[in-house]
Amino acid sequence: MTEYNAQILESESIWKYVFDALPDLIAILDTDHRVVKINKAMANRLGVSPDAGIGLHCYEVVHHTDSPILECPHSKLLQDGLEHTQEVQEDNLGGYFLVTASPIVNSDGKVLGSVHFARDITERRKMEIKLEKALQDKEILMKEIHHRVKNNLMMISSLLNIQSHYIKDPEVKDLFTESQNRAKSMALLHKELYESGDMKDIELSDYLGKLSKEIIYSYNSRDVHIDLDLDLEKGTIDVDRAIPLGLIATETIINSFKHAFPNGKGKIKIKLYKEDDSFLLIISDDGVGFPEDLDFRSQGNMGMMLINGLINQIDGSINMKRENGTQFIIKFKDEEPIDK
């Protein structure tokens, strides 16, 4: 390095070289929105030389307007004396910019103007727009998938219903009704996801409320009338656990209908509430009670086998009480386990 070059780096004139070397678009503006100084990067974007830009109004040369833009960072700074930063789209400069206006003050604290920095973020913003579009497309696709799955499951349910009309054996007909309700429980879940717009989580109280009413409606008749009592606290659950939980609730309610009310009258109560970091779902009936000599974990019908198999899928537990009928207590975590 020559002695002359070393002197330049050590002198105050170095700031002129630094000012023009920076790739950001920099302007020094006064309180009348006039350009006091601009660096080469800003001058090149404006299509003028650095000296020719001096004295121009920033709003005329940048925004092509006849008066200041009130929402620009420099205008805001002149109002409150504070630094302001925001992202702006400025087509006259060729894209998107992260703009910061920092106050220049004298020894008395009076604002003399601002240093105006504009960093070109056009490529980053284009990438963000692409990602946003990709996410929107994915959401549309997921909604369409849920809609089609729901329609397919409802078709299966309808076919089972039609077929059941030709079956004379009551036991076989019950099997068709149970399968129909299982399909409905999954179809309802996909319907809720499609209509809510949330592709990951589902509102439990809405889902369990609608599901239980569907089942009650399918079983109630002239000879059977079961009342439904709902006490459901608001809360969400991820889709992966909502499907098995819905089937557990379906099987439990069906079990009450089939075995708890030999006289065709009674009540089923469903309660959902939070306890610490877990949900408790309690499904109870005031029927004849679960047989004392029967272990619901290892004995019983297909419904009980499904319940015990599905409980592991929600990383939960299930217990039963024989008090004024039968009560099933299902406990599961509020949030999806990390290792799932």
List the chain domain ranges: 3-120, 127-197, 200-340
Tell me what the mean pLDDT of segment 61-67 comes to.
Answer: 87
The CATH code of the domain at 3-120 is: 3.30.450.20
Query: Closest Cα partner for 182 from 99, 280, 83, 248?
Result: 248
For the ranges 107-116, 178-187, 272-281, the lowest mean pLDDT is seen at 178-187
What does the pLDDT read at residue 9? 39
pLDDT surpasses 80 at 260:
yes
Cα distance between residue 327 and residue 340, in whole Å: 29
What does the pLDDT read at residue 8? 41
Integer CA distances (angstroms), 206 to 19, 73, 182, 200, 234, in order: 61, 46, 18, 15, 8
pLDDT surpasses 80 at 7:
no
Residue 238 burial (C-beta neighbours within 10 Å; 0-12, 13-18, 19+): middle
Eight-state DSSP code of residue 62 = I
Tell me what the mean pLDDT of segment 143-148 comes to.
Answer: 68
Q: Which residues contact 139 (CB under 8 A, 6 or more apart)?
A: 197, 199
Q: Which CATH number fits domain 200-340: 3.30.470.10, 3.40.250.10, 3.30.1520.10, 3.30.565.10?
A: 3.30.565.10
Cα distance between residue 314 and residue 269, in whole Å: 22
Greater pLDDT, 263 or 141:
263
Residue 222 pLDDT class (50, 70, 90 cuts) = low
pLDDT tens for each residue of 275-303 = 988 999 999 999 988 888 777 777 666 67
Mean pLDDT of the chain: 83
pTM over cut 0.75: no
